[in-house]
Structure formats: C-alpha cells, structure tokens
C-alpha cells in the first residue's frame, strides 16, 4: 500500500551545524504534511506543517520544503542544538483527519 518513508534512519551532526531530514511520500492525493519530534519517553510533538499549495514554510530555526514533483518532503533545522536530539517523523494527511506516519529518523547532536 501507499506509505510515507524516510531515507535515513540516523543522522549525526555537530552542535551548530544545519540538519536536513528527508521524507518520501507516495500518495499524490495527500494535501497536508506535518513534521513531529519525539523525545525519548514522550509523545510526538508538532513542529511545523505545510499544505500542498506551498513549497516552503519557515518557523523558528526550522524550515519545511515540499517538492510535489518528486513527492519529497524535508525538514531543515538551523544551528542544531543538543536539545534537538530526538526522532523526527513526517506524516501525511490523506483526508478524514487521519495521518500516515513515516518510519522516523533519529537525530543525534554532539556537543
């Protein structure tokens, strides 16, 4: 079936570097995408979202890019900090308020 997946299971960066986490989706009908951050022992936390009529959206230190042509989503974190260490999930909304989650990428930030 159609699914949302990630290219890299683990990403290790140095503090201060920029991080890029990627996600591929296969459902061309999806019109809304979300990035979540999940720290150990906690539930997923909303980071940023983007609708399919946009190709870029910026938040505080985070940017989400959407390329509908190749069905690719990325999360960019500027000046990565140790507190950014977590698992990051992309999710797509296929309608009816249900979300389908990608596999997740572990981000490890070294001081």
Partner 1 sequence: SAVISQKPSRDICQRGTSLTIQCQVDSQVTMMFWYRQQPGQSLTLIATANQGSEATYESGFVIDKFPISRPNLTFSTLTVSNMSPEDSSIYLCSLAGSKRDTQYFGPGTRLTVL
Neighbours of 110 (CB within 10 A): 11
Per DSSP, which regions of the chain are E strands? Answer: 4-5, 10-14, 19-25, 32-38, 45-51, 56-58, 62-67, 72-77, 86-93, 99-101, 105-110
Tell the smallest beta-carbon distance from residue 109 to partner 1 (Å): 20
Residue from the set 27, 32, 65, 74 that interacts with partner 1 by CB under 8 A:
32
Tell the smallest beta-carbon distance from residue 97 to partner 1 (Å): 5
Nearer of residues 99 and 108 to partner 1, judged by Cβ: 99
Tell the smallest beta-carbon distance from residue 42 to partner 1 (Å): 6
């Amino acid at each position: 079936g159609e699914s949302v997946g990630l290219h890299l299971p683990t990403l290790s960066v140095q503090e201060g570097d920029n991080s890029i986490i990627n996600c591929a989706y296969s459902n061309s009908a999806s019109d809304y995408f979300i990035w979540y951050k999940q720290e150990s022992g906690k539930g997923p936390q909303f980071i940023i979202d983007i609708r399919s009529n946009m190709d870029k959206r910026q938040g505080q230190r985070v940017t989400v890019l959407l390329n509908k042509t190749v069905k690719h989503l990325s999360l960019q974190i500027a000046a990565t900090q140790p507190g950014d260490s977590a698992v990051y999930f992309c999710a797509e909304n296929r309608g009816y308020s249900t979300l389908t989650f990608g596999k997740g990428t572990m981000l490890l930030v070294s001081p």
